[in-house]
Amino acid sequence: MPNKDNPRARRLGEQIQRELVEMLRRDVKDERIGNVTITAVSVAGDLRTARVYYLVFGKDGPDPKVQRGLESAAGFLRNALSKSLMIRYTPTLSFELDTSIEHGVRLTQLIDSVNKPEQRPAAASGDAHRESAAGHEPDHELDEGPDDGHVVDEGDYIDPKSGG
């Protein structure tokens, strides 16, 4: 998002972001853009254009009304920026929904799905039960014969000889 190569563009983007947040809160009366948060501003290397990234509070996806409201306020915001920033040329503003948070959540979900421990099927033998009990020894000894007991829940072993 923000321009990392050009320090001046990065600083200008940060200043534009601060000014826009204040202007949207104080000066813009358009109801369509009431719950907008400016997350970042990326200024081109020639300082002529600025892409403003935003999120809409309470919405998961894009809201066309908010986009139209921001686009209609772009001229007013640019004029107000020219007065407050005192730079030779004020960048043209374009607004884009910030999808970086959604992208980050998706990456986190993918990483979690890869790192999730695999579920092993419940074993019926006492030796396998001892392994799956994570080092906990059972209260009773099992003989080596056939075992008709079963695992009810994670680690809860019911011995058929004890009746329950």
pTM of this prediction exceeds 0.85: no
Q: List residues bridging with 55 in a β-sheet.
A: 37
Q: Is the pLDDT of residue 22 over 50?
A: yes
Confidence of residue 132 (pLDDT cuts 50, 70, 90): very low
Distance from C-alpha of 21 to C-alpha of 80, rounded to nearest angstrom: 12
Considering only residues 39 and 154, tell me which one the structure prediction assigns the higher pLDDT.
Answer: 39
Whether residue 56 contacts residue 80, with contact meaning beta carbons closer than 8 Å, is answered with no
More confident residue, 6 or 142: 6
CA atoms of 161 and 117, how far apart (whole Å): 33
